[in-house]
Amino acid sequence: MSATQTDNQATLARWRLVLGKYAQPKMPDCLSAEQQRMAQTLDQLYSREYRGRGVRQGGPAGQKGPGSLDPSQLNVPHWLSELRELFPNETCEQVTTHAIDRYGMTELVTDPDVLASLEPSTELLTAVLSLKGQMKGRVLEEARRLIRRVVEEVKRRLEREVRNALSGRLNRFRHSSLPIARNFDARGTIRRNLKNWDDQRRKLLVENPRFFSRVQRRLPWEVVLCIDQSGSMVDSVLHSAVMAGILSGLPLVRVRLVVFDTSVVDLSEHVTDPVEVLMSVQLGGGTNIGQAVRYCETLVSQPRRTVLVLVTDFFEGADPRVLIAAGKRLRESGVKLLGLAALDANANPFYDQQLASRLASEGMEIAALTPLRFAQWLAGVMQGT
């Protein structure tokens, strides 16, 4: 396909998106799979423009309009999630403003009872975080409660396993009176009870079994979590906020939490409160990873006792050389570097493999991990294994 044909195809696709589904009969099929998703997302909202002008929409009489929360028409959380994934931040803001101001899709920002009735989910969390700037009063309070319910559910699933991975190991120099089978000290028990050997029965009578105690790890480490807050990263933002809260509860582990898009925001003062972290993030915007990593450099005081965890999709909007150089300086100073392409329950990665490979060549470990696997990796780094 020539450059002229490519330009013509792109122009047709833009006009198809602008004109909506009623342009389809008179326009050739010019949309890619992703553009078709974009068109469907826009049509779900803007098709009501035709309804207002008396154009018949089809479907049974009395069918609800797309401004309701009726799942057969417009699932608002899913629609907002699609919008954030497919369009740049400026477009999302304009479309959501149209949805609320022009078409009356105000349920999520005006009615606390609607929020209270919805089942908490990551998808709904994305919608709430996208619209929280337009919420006030009781609605904002209900949104905060909903966010807390999502956070508590994630924390409930993770906390025990993560703490087990990061704290507690056998102390073979101290014993415990608590009879825990996995801590049983067989050799110590035999030595302690040799005097109770019964020659007739040829058995050792155990009167005083021995068990190892467990001690918490004392890890004089600093963990810097640097989180991409673009709209597609909402699952990782959620799990990162919860992980930060869990890590901050460990002894002698200092956690710093930084979120970024084209700006950098240090949320370290809220690290113990994942809800406050999530209420502070601004999903969407561009991405300047290098700027964020350079800021994290300024937080490092003991390089050889610091782990920098970069959670991002590695789609850099700025000059990647700034990021590469910052990563190289951090590695050479002794900082342990990990790049996470995903940090959620499924660890489904979607990232720029080319930039990730360049960072890996400078010493950053790149992975897509669940929170538990991340905790196990972090424990290994802190133990030097």
Q: What is the DSSP letter of 101?
A: I
Q: What is the pLDDT of residue 91?
A: 81
d(CA 314, CA 302): 26
What are phi and psi for residue 154, nearest 5 degrees?
-65, -45
Per-residue pLDDT band for 77 (boundaries 50, 70, 90) equals low
Q: Residue 6: pLDDT band by 50, 70, 90 thresholds?
A: low
Report the residue count for the chain: 385
Q: Residue 68's pLDDT band (boundaries 50, 70, 90)?
A: very low
Q: What percent of the chain has pLDDT over 90?
A: 27
Phi and psi, residue 304, nearest 5°? -80, 0
Q: Is the pLDDT of residue 69 over 70?
A: no
Angle, CA 379 vertex, CA 188 and CA 329 arms, to 5°: 140
Asked if the model's pLDDT at residue 145 lies above 80, the reply is yes
Average pLDDT over residues 153-165: 84
Q: Would you say residue 200 has pLDDT above 70?
A: yes
pLDDT at 71: 34
Higher pLDDT, 119 or 308: 308
Q: What is the pLDDT of residue 354?
A: 94
Q: State the residue for tokens 């150089």.
A: 325
| Mean pLDDT for the chain overall | 78
Q: Check whether 75 has a pLDDT greater than 70.
A: no
* Rounded CA separation 58/97 (Å): 26
pLDDT of 191 > 70? The answer is yes
- The more confident residue out of 74 and 115 is 115
The pLDDT of residue 49 is 65
Q: How confident is the model at residue 105 (pLDDT cuts 50, 70, 90)?
A: low
Residue type, 44: Q
Give the 3-state secondary structure of residue 135: coil
Helix (H) or strand (E) holding 213: strand 211-215
Q: Which residues of 309-327 are buried (b: 16+ CB within 10 A; e: fewer)?
A: bbbbbbebeeebebbbebb
Q: Please, which residues have CB within 8 angstroms of residue 187's CB and are 6 or more apart in sequence?
A: none
The residue with greater pLDDT, 221 or 61, is 221
pLDDT in tens, 308-360: 999 999 999 999 999 999 999 999 999 999 999 878 777 777 889 999 999 99
| Nearest residue to 321 via CA among 288, 365, 285, 366 | 288
Q: How far, CA to CA in Å, does 22 sit from each of 87, 196, 291, 378?
A: 21, 92, 44, 54
Neighbours of 62 (CB within 10 A): 5
Interval 111-116 mean pLDDT: 77
Give mean pLDDT, residues 211-226: 69
Q: What are 252-296's pLDDT values in tens digits?
A: 889 999 999 989 999 999 999 999 999 888 777 788 999 999 999
pLDDT grade for 58, boundaries at 50, 70 and 90: very low
Structural domains of the chain sorted by starting position, each given as residue range(s) with its CATH number in brackets: 3-57+68-146 (no CATH), 177-214 (no CATH), 221-382 (3.40.50.410)
What is the mean predicted confidence (pLDDT) over 36-58?
68
| Comparison of pLDDT for 218 and 348, the residue scoring more | 348
Q: What does the pLDDT read at residue 347? A: 75
Question: Which segments of 221-298 are extended strands (E)?
Answer: 221-228, 253-260, 264-266
Q: What tens digit of pLDDT does each residue of 234-248 get?
A: 888 889 999 999 998
Q: Which two tokens stand for residue 181?
A: 């089978």
Spatial contact of 149 and 175, defined as CB atoms under 8 Å apart = no
pLDDT of amino acid 302: 92
Q: What is the pLDDT of residue 213?
A: 54
Res 170: pLDDT: 38
**Mean per-residue pLDDT for 172-190?**
60
Query: Residue 123 carries which DSSP code?
Result: H
